[in-house]
Structure 1
Amino acid sequence: MTKNAIVSQEKVEHTSFSSERNLSSLFMDLKSLLKGIVLIANVLPVITGFWLAIYFTNSSFSDQRSLFLLTMIGSTFVMAGALVLNNWYEVDLDREMERTKKRPTVTGNFSLKTVLTMGIVFSIIGFVVLYFTTMEAVIYAFIGWFTYVVMYTMWMKRKYTLNTVMGSISGAVTPLIGWAALAPSYHYVPIVLALLLFIWQMPHTFAIAMRRHDEYKAAGVAMLPVVRGFDFTKRQIIIYVTCLLPLPFFLTSLGTIFVVIATILNVVWILLSIGGFFTNSDTKWARALFLYSVNYLAILFILMIIVTLPIFA
């Protein structure tokens, strides 16, 4: 092989490596911008809400596949748009917090104008697609979008500890979107799911705020542990987790297995919450509580689908 051929091959390999690295970097930036895990956590209740609507209305999933696809695409774009707009608005806070310093809005990999445009376009696409399901689903999606983007992000987060309550409202509508795409949501099941999600988000968010206490304090964000301290926050966590205890008994139509497993999960969470008053490390305890809350939600909503599958129902 000639020297020129070797040089050419090295250039090709270098170009290929650079392209792969750029694609990988772009993927990671998009994942950070869309808050991948948060987006997935919000999509799951939409799926569950839709599936349970099929189950309780004795419909067939095969007959509703197109509607399911529209619901998932629409709701995902709406939520993605809201998350992107949150990143756009909070770039000054993200610069102050260690866990958010690598977001593309902070690093400059994406311009703020680009991010703003993405957030608006994603939101519009989502609402347009959802319009082809039901107007009720669109209304719930708008409630979630508005409370998260305007009420939580732009108004309450920096000023009031009640920002967590407002953020919880936006997350609570997700199963209502899924259910309402197929049937009216005045059924007790989607209402209980919405209540469950609202309550769940409070201790979940408090755990995050305790883990990131110093960062939130430095950024001037009015999270409960920053304003009222850890002991007060721990008491609030116990109160909210305890409020989850009776909810499975409103879902006895999902079967005994579901009620038993959900109750066990609630009891364990209560015990873990009480353990916060006997821990030597608030940070480690808050991390354990956060991880438990994430797994709790995933297990519970996946379980709702499993126990209503034809082979189990």
Structure 2
Amino acid sequence: MTKEMDITFTETKTTIEKERASTLISDFKSLFKAPVLIANALPVFVGFWLALHFTGDSLLANSRLFWLTIIGSTILMAGALVLNNWYDVDIDTVMKRTQKRPTVTGNISLNTVLGIGIGLSAAGLIMLMFTTMEAAIYGFVGWFTYVIMYTMWTKRKYTLNTVIGSISGAVTPMIGWAAIAPSYHMVPIMLFIILFIWQMPHTFAIAMRKYNEYKVANVAMLPVVRGFKMTKRQMFVYTACLLPLPFYLGALGMVFVVLATILNVGFLAVSIRGFFAKDDDKWAYVMFMYSVNYIAILFLLMVAVTLPPIF
């Protein structure tokens, strides 16, 4: 009987430990906003890759610099996202989609979250300083824009919060490029502009789908303050602004220009459908999904067309 009780106790203890480990992993994934972190790492890589391509350098010869750039920028971004969670705990408590974050549930104390955010931010910036100072400056600009300008200043007060926040995401390819070469080149500048413009309809689509949550939390997103009609008009304008940009990247080849233009036309077509949509939530979801796939395909295409020939 005692032996059976010991076995049961051991099994129960093991189950509890597994559940705690699973919860901890889930909490940290939520705290670091894992999907956002991964999405921001891709443009850094593409910027680095294209800088190697246009300078005639190789990834193998710059492997140490590559890992410093990728890991440093990712850690810095993670720090910014953690600080965003720390500061926005009152909003996250109200919004349904963020109520399971560890800052809301109390699984991780706010002081601990603050310490993690500051520590990661400092560590990431220091790592970028071991690449080039220009890359580190772009990293700091992204961090400052997201944490101070967006999270702490404009998010709750102005609809321009999306414009401000877009700067932090747009500098990511500049970090990667600047780790290899000075960024006063048409390619990294165009990558910045593409990412900056793309984030507007992408974020507006999210804001439309989460309209009720943002309204309850008093977050000054454009759909909440100015309504869906104005939001749709702005989404159309921003997607239209993407149309000429591939032609400034002719150095990537005609295949890229043609395919990127097709992607842009599709993006514009989806935005136009919004003016005739009977179900705004359904259309906003389609717009969101197109925007996610659009930017991933576009940046992966940049890598694909610059791969060295196999033969």
Which bracket does the TM-score occupy, shorter chain normalised?
A: over 0.9
The residue type equivalent to 2:282 in the other structure is: K
Question: What displacement does 1:311 show?
Answer: 2.2
TM-score in terms of structure 2 length: 0.98
2:246 to 245, 248, 252: 248
1:164 to 162, 165, 173: 162
Specify the SS of the correspondent of 2:94. coil
Which residue of 2 is the match for residue 274 of structure 1?
A: 272
2:144 to 143, 146, 170: 146
Question: What displacement does 1:278 show?
Answer: 1.1
Structure 1 residues 267-306: aligned runs within 5 Å? 267-306=265-304
Task: Answer yes or no: is the 8 Å Cα contact 1:206–1:237 preserved in 2.
Answer: yes
Question: What displacement does 1:7 show?
Answer: 1.9
| Alpha-carbon distance in 2 for matches of 1:8, 1:295 | 53
Structure 1 residues 95-110: aligned runs within 5 Å? 95-110=93-108
Q: What is the root-mean-square deviation of aligned Cα atoms in Å?
A: 1.1
Specify the SS of the correspondent of 1:311. coil
The residue type equivalent to 1:210 in the other structure is: M
Q: Which moved more, 1:250-259 or 1:287-296?
A: 250-259
| Alpha-carbon distance in 2 for matches of 1:293, 1:115 | 31
| Alpha-carbon distance in 1 for matches of 2:17, 2:201 | 43
Count of matched residue positions in the alignment of Structure 1 and Structure 2: 311
What do residues 92-137 of structure 1 show as CA deviations (whole Å, max 9, x unaligned)?
0001111001110000001100000000000000011111000000
Question: What displacement does 1:11 show?
Answer: 1.8
Gaps of 5+ in 1: none
Q: Which moved more, 1:234-243 or 1:11-20?
A: 11-20
Which residue of 2 is the match for residue 220 of structure 1?
A: 218
Which residue of 1 is the match for residue 92 of structure 2?
A: 94
Task: Answer yes or no: is the 8 Å Cα contact 1:306–1:312 preserved in 2.
Answer: no
Q: Does residue 59 of structure 1 match 2:57? A: yes
> Structure 2 vs 1, CA of residues 57 and 103 (structure 1 numbering), >3 Å: closer, same or farther?
same
| Alpha-carbon distance in 2 for matches of 1:19, 1:298 | 37
2:36 to 24, 35, 38: 38
1:198 to 196, 215, 219: 196
Specify the SS of the correspondent of 1:40. helix
| Alpha-carbon distance in 1 for matches of 2:96, 2:23 | 19
| Alpha-carbon distance in 2 for matches of 1:57, 1:20 | 49
| Alpha-carbon distance in 2 for matches of 1:142, 1:24 | 33
Which residue of 2 is the match for residue 72 of structure 1?
A: 70
Which residue of 2 is the match for residue 27 of structure 1?
A: 25
Question: What displacement does 1:200 show?
Answer: 0.4
The residue type equivalent to 1:288 in the other structure is: V
The residue type equivalent to 1:63 in the other structure is: A
Work out the percentage of aligned pairs sharing the same amino acid: 63
Question: What displacement does 1:5 show?
Answer: 2.3
What do residues 171-199 of structure 1 show as CA deviations (whole Å, max 9, x unaligned)?
11000000001110001100000000000
Task: Answer yes or no: is the 8 Å Cα contact 1:157–1:222 preserved in 2.
Answer: yes
The residue type equivalent to 1:296 in the other structure is: Y
Structure 1 residues 172-187: aligned runs within 5 Å? 172-187=170-185
The residue type equivalent to 1:281 in the other structure is: D
TM-score in terms of structure 1 length: 0.98
2:209 to 208, 211, 214: 211
Runs of 4+ in structure 1 over 4 Å off? none
What do residues 244-276 of structure 1 show as CA deviations (whole Å, max 9, x unaligned)?
011111111112221111111111111100101
> Structure 2 vs 1, CA of residues 242 and 312 (structure 1 numbering), >3 Å: closer, same or farther?
farther
The residue type equivalent to 1:131 in the other structure is: M
| Alpha-carbon distance in 1 for matches of 2:54, 2:22 | 43
Question: What displacement does 1:76 show?
Answer: 0.5
What do residues 16-72 of structure 1 show as CA deviations (whole Å, max 9, x unaligned)?
211111111111111111111111111110000000000000001110000000001
1:112 to 102, 110, 128: 110
The residue type equivalent to 2:135 in the other structure is: A
Question: What displacement does 1:312 show?
Answer: 7.3
Task: Answer yes or no: is the 8 Å Cα contact 1:185–1:191 preserved in 2.
Answer: yes
Task: Answer yes or no: is the 8 Å Cα contact 1:32–1:104 preserved in 2.
Answer: yes
| Alpha-carbon distance in 2 for matches of 1:134, 1:104 | 35
The residue type equivalent to 1:282 in the other structure is: D
| Alpha-carbon distance in 1 for matches of 2:308, 2:152 | 45
